Amino acid sequence: MRIRPYLSFDGNCQQAANFYTSIFGGKIIEKTTYKESKIDIPDHYLEKIQHLEIKSKNFHIMMYDASPDTPLTSGSNIHLAVDFDSEKELKEVFDQLSSSGIVHTPLQETSWNAIYGRCTDKYNIDWMLNYKA
């Protein structure tokens, strides 16, 4: 069994994918627009992403631009959790994700003997970042 996150965006999926690959690496291994899928959708949305996948050795994320008739409600019911191999890497990624976003928990020592921070990025995706030596 594998569980993979599938992220929804409001027309800016490609920009978000570029942002995440610039931070985490990986490659876009699949990308389909609504036009390529031949889905009945308003003309102004044809070039938006119907399906995109980013994959690396350590993760596999799927994402898309929700169609105009699919309302998105941003919420806090899901967070993407990332465990890092170094404190330096944690700080770099936290700074990048939280830039133009919201810091909910600044990077700090925790009761579970780790450095932890929580933020929402500029695409309204919630992140929980952790480094335990």
Question: Which residue reads 């990048």 in tokens?
Answer: 96
> Is the four-CA dihedral 20, 68, 103, 61 of positive or negative sign?
negative
Within a domain: 48: yes
Q: What's the CATH number where 11 sits?
A: 3.30.720
Q: pTM here?
A: 0.89
Q: How confident is the model at residue 11 (pLDDT cuts 50, 70, 90)?
A: very high
Q: What is the pLDDT of residue 58?
A: 92
Contacts of 90 (CB under 8 A, 6+ apart): 84, 107, 115, 117, 129, 130, 131
Same domain, 57 and 93: no
Query: Do residue 14 and residue 59 come from a single domain?
Result: yes
Residue 70 falls inside a structural domain: no
61 and 84 share a domain? no
Q: pLDDT tens for residues 76-131?
A: 778 999 999 999 999 999 999 999 999 999 999 999 999 999 999 999 999 999 99
CATH classification of the domain holding 112 = 3.30.720.110
Interval 20-74: pLDDT, tens: 999 999 999 999 999 998 888 999 999 999 999 999 999 999 999 999 888 888 7
